A and B are shown apart, each in its own frame.
Chain A
Amino acid sequence: MADEQDEGPSMTSSAAGDALEARNPIDPRSARLTRRGLIAAAAASAGGVVLARLPAQAPAAQGAPTSPPQPAGAPPGAPVYDLASVPPDPTRAPGPPTSALGARSPFETSARTPVGLVTGSSLTPLQQLSGTVTPSDLVFERHHAGVALIDPARYELMIHGLVDRPTVFSLDDLHHLPSVSRTVFLECSGNGRGAYRTPKREMTPQAIDGLTSSGEWTGVLLATLFREVGVQRGATWFRAEGGDAARLSRSVPMEKGMDDALIAYAYNGEPLRPSNGYPARLLLPGYEGNANIKWVRRIEVSDGPGMFRDETSKYTDPLANGTARQFSFVLDAKSIITSPAYPGRVTPNKWTQITGIAWSGRGKIVRVDVSVDGGNSWTVAELQEPVQALAHTRFRIPWQWDGRPTVLMSRAVDDTGYTQPTLAEFRGRRGAGTDYHFNYIRAWDVDSAGQMAFRVDE
């Protein structure tokens, strides 16, 4: 109980399923209600939100569109498109004007599933994403003491310990150093716990595996910073600490720090969002999410791990053989079919597309096999090129359902030759009580009516 509740995903996964049922994302009526509520709230507050009505209804319909006055220094607002004002024929009247920030169509309901707690998570709606990139505002969250709100002008990153020159870097300093951009996934170590421990047929891809996101990160290689400070002989680990109220800390082997570790300050072309580590975070491509310290403020170069709470009592893997694996950083290959999936359905004798994402913390996905008969036979899916190492990889395969109940599965293979294990293999080796890194093959039931449901194996 303690672990699951403290850790979040187990609780949030099932809670997320309930939340999704409560406000069905594909029900336009609930969307309309929500949007109206939003619009009312936006109109009531002067919080920098621009209400984008149709010109026909807006006071400045004939001339230049105007925006409500904003307080000086307020961040630019995004329009709230009024669902009720969508015209029957948008070719017959001009639409809303340009705006400072973009906004989604009022018909789109993609959203994370926050649990409303400071130590908890919100999950990415995998079933509502296309391609390989997660939009900034849908990147999953996992916080241990809330979102740290940090003034970038006051941000400092200290590097000390076994170094020649203990140094404080400002955000401006980081921006002056050579930058690197890299598309990588980030997955919470506990992703899939709810589906493993307390599976429910009414689980969406989001509820099952929504603690993974992928996109382009930009920052300074930690190796560049290590050269600035002069790492001393005998340095084998570094200890990273966040500037949040949990001062979340993890120890990482020095090889990773000298290889591809980044101090990232941007995601998908814009500064990091506060919930993902603004103004700067540690990014360890392929490593479990928890080690990618957000709001990183201190790195201590050391001769051993700190044995912090999140690398001893948490984020260790109890195994079926009565031990627990420690410092199991790298996320092994994994995949999930995101469509068709619960709560969707399929139509008999009609072409549909089975699609999903696969990823591996060890390198490139080289193959994804899809089974439409419960794992008896497999077909190679098409991978979206270019396949990028350590990034979400989109797979697709056309399929015609014959109308008989069956089970869909996907199985990823990475370029080390590692194949995603079956649930039985996983359970046998790790045990029913294991806590992290749930990368076994996911399965979806199709019933005789074409209704999809998460497969719950007994």
Chain B
Amino acid sequence: MKRARMKRARMNRARMSRIRTSTGRSARARALAGVGLIALAFVACDRGPLAERAGRRQRTLGTGRLPADVQAAPDPPARFGVGRPATDSEVAAWDVDVGPDGKGLPAGSGTVAQGAAVFAAKCAACHGPAGEGQVGAPLAGSPPAPKLVGRDPREGFPFGQDPKLVKTVGNYWPYATTVFDYVRRTMPITAPGSLTNNEVYAVVAFLLAKNEVIEPTAVMNSSTLPAVRMPARDKFVADDRKGGAGFK
């Protein structure tokens, strides 16, 4: 390892000295050296974020031998000043996402019983009365609605091993806040965004209770929902793949 590094450093020194000795010779040699320097600059350009590389490459080109009436491109401005300010109300209207810490949860609340009524009216036609998944024919143009309720298997997390296991809110979803975020923005599939915040809290309460994650008497709101600990919370690991030899 160390030897390889030293060898590389030696080669670099040799290359640099070749370039140095070639300058100051014939015009042809000087031109070639110029090309070499530009090539080196290109190599240097290929490091770092593309965002910086793009601009750097353009400007570096300008440092080569140019006709007298051609100048290097100027540095881009720190800002181009395009776009218009987003108003607070515009941001509020679109900023509907809810983080795992509960940030973004609106006012309002819902009980399991209220959720049962909302679910029966607006969800059960596709997801089944108890969230067991598509029972009848799916809506035209839509795929069969997935199963939402179920804790099998109670032990372990054998989803990698068993292709027949069905992932549900109760056995797979790591954050309860995700259920709120997803239902509010996408459901029901034929009228996304049509549920009130109270209805969403209620449906989430219903689903969490059916999955035996919360008590049937629990109330979901902006402080209780982020505190719900999902059964699969600890099963997720960071990506450890980095390329190179070996399969992960």
By a beta-carbon cutoff of 8 Å, the part of chain A in contact with chain B is 1-3, 5-6, 8, 11, 116-120, 144-146, 158-160, 165-170, 173, 176-178, 180, 197, 221, 223-224, 227-229, 239, 241, 245-247, 249, 258-260, 297-298, 300, 302, 304-309, 312-313, 316-330, 332, 362-363, 414, 416-419, 421, 425-426, 429-435
Contact = CB atoms under 8 A, between A and B. Distances in A.
Interface string B198-242: 000000000000000000000000000000000000011111111
Contact of B166 (A1, A120, A323, A418): A1
Given A6-B143, A322-B156, 8 more contacts: A1-B166, A2-B147, A119-B189, A173-B83, A307-B174, A325-B239, A327-B238, A433-B160
21 contacts: A2-B167, A2-B168, A118-B142, A167-B84, A178-B76, A221-B50, A228-B79, A245-B186, A246-B185, A249-B97, A258-B51, A260-B50, A306-B97, A308-B178, A309-B181, A313-B173, A322-B157, A324-B235, A416-B242, A418-B245, A433-B159
Contacts of A327: 238-239
A91 B161 CA distance: 63
Contacts of A305: 100
A298 B178 CA distance: 18
Q: Chain B interface secondary structure, helix, strand, loop or mixed?
A: loop
A308 B182 contact: yes
Contacts of A228: 79-83
B67 interface: no
B49 interface: yes
Interface of B: 49-51, 54, 76, 78-86, 90-91, 94-101, 133-134, 141-144, 146-147, 156-169, 172-175, 177-178, 181-182, 185-186, 189, 192-193, 235-245, 247-248
Contacts, number: 237
A434 B94 CA distance: 35
Contact of A316 (B166, B186, B236, B240): B236
Contacts of A418: 243-245
Contacts of B51: 221, 223-224, 258-260
A159 B85 CA distance: 10
A298 B50 contact: no
Contacts of B192: 145, 245-247
A117 B140 CA distance: 8
Contacts of B76: 178
Nearest to B185: A247
Most buried by A among B79, B80, B159: B159
A158 B243 contact: no
Contacts of B90: 158, 168
